[in-house]
Amino acid sequence: MVTATLAPLEEIASRIVGSYAVSIRDVDSGKEPFVYSTGNRGPGYVMIKGLVGQRKVLKFLTGQLAIKVAPLFGEHFDFIEGNATGGMVPAWQLTDDVERVLGLEEGTIPYNYLRGSRKEGGHGELITGNGNNPLVRPGMKALVVEELVNYAGTTTNAAEEFRSAGYLVTHAACILSYDHPQSNDRLRERGVTLLSLMTLPTLLDVSEAQGLLPKGGIDSYRAFLADPVGWQLGRNLVIPTDSAKKAMEKGWVMRELTSEEALARGAPAGKLKEGVVYWAPDGK
């Protein structure tokens, strides 16, 4: 193994923030919240996937992540998988970086990617890179890789897809994790251990100490991370089913909305078209 040392958190945070990957909106002053892949909404968004346009930054981040991931090779993963679309390029680069850290010959670690939907025509595949590949065999262990994990929906879905295809999945990795309760609960329920280069709470702490982001935005983002469901309901935002279940566990009385009701109450039209079902507190 090549001797490699992780860079200081301050350098990692400054590379992410300095690349303009972090955006925070003042929702309480009337700005629209960001919409996440799950249909939930929040005050901030970290565009790690956009760093494919800043290769020097992205390669620095995947190189750092490789230092954390490399010790898992052989015991917890045999090949690396990237999720379409945001995880595909970082996972490809991470494969090279892990080989370099371990001092392995190029091409030793196989790479696959998971499509967003099953291909129409051809082999009709959902997983690409495993078919007719002697390097990827049933029973091998896959490492699910994302550039960013928020609610962990795509991460855990990928784990289930690879398990269904005959592979073992116990670990995932990402450059940045939101590290909030709902995400961590989902990972734990699906039996996935997540390694991240940096968590969003740590990024916010370092950014505050270094003066990299406005304090008001940092405080709002922290409030969301501490209680994503409460943050949304406190701002009269309707929430998707998984979040509604969490709300009911906390004592909220919720009711399912029709698509028309949800749209009238400001639910993202695009998510409704995708089939996301929204809920609101009963009586409101």
How does pLDDT run across 43-71, given as a tens digit for each residue?
Answer: 999 999 999 999 999 999 999 999 999 99
Is residue 123 scored above 50 in pLDDT? no
- Looking at residue 283, what is its pLDDT? 83
Taking alpha carbons only, the member of 118, 100, 177 closest to residue 145 is 177
pLDDT band at 37 (very low <50, low <70, confident <90, very high): confident
User: What's the pLDDT band for 116 if we cut at 50, 70, 90?
Assistant: low
Is-cis flag, bond preceding 128, omega within 30?
Answer: no
Adjacency order of strands within the sheet including 79-83 = 127-128, 111-114, 79-83, 141-149, 168-177, 193-199
Q: What pLDDT sits at residue 126?
A: 86
Length of the chain: 284
Amino acid in the structure at residue 147: E
Contact 81, 112 (CB under 8 A): yes
pLDDT confidence of residue 3 = 67
Does 31 or 124 have the greater pLDDT score?
31
Average pLDDT over residues 155-164: 96
Q: Cα(100)–Cα(102) distance, rounded to whole angstroms? A: 5
The pLDDT > 70 percentage for the chain reads 95
Closest residue by Cα to residue 268 from 29, 31, 41: 41
Lowest mean pLDDT among 11-15, 24-28, 141-145, 275-279: 24-28
Q: Which residue, among 119, 116, 165, has the nearest Cα to 142 in the 3D structure?
A: 165
Other Cβ atoms closer than 10 A to 113: 21
The arithmetic mean of pLDDT across residues 4-9, rounded, is 92
Ranges 13-22, 141-150, 177-186: which has the least confidence: 177-186
Chain centre distance of CA 191: 16
Residue 120 has a pLDDT of 37
The band of 121, judged by pLDDT with boundaries at 50, 70 and 90, is very low
pLDDT digit string, tens, across residues 191-237: 999 999 999 999 999 999 999 999 999 999 999 999 999 999 999 99
Model confidence band, residue 2 (pLDDT cutoffs 50, 70, 90): low
pLDDT of residue 1: 62
What is the Cα–Cα distance from 32 to 137, expressed in whole angstroms? 46
d(CA 262, CA 244): 13
User: What domains lie within the chain, and their CATH numbers?
Assistant: 9-237 (3.40.50.2020), 238-284 (no CATH)
**Beta carbons within 10 angstroms of residue 84's beta carbon:** 15
The set of residues, in sequence order, having a beta carbon less than 8 Å from that of 257 and lying 6+ positions away, is 238, 265, 267, 277, 278, 279, 280
- Residue 20: both structure tokens together: 């303009």
SS3 208: helix
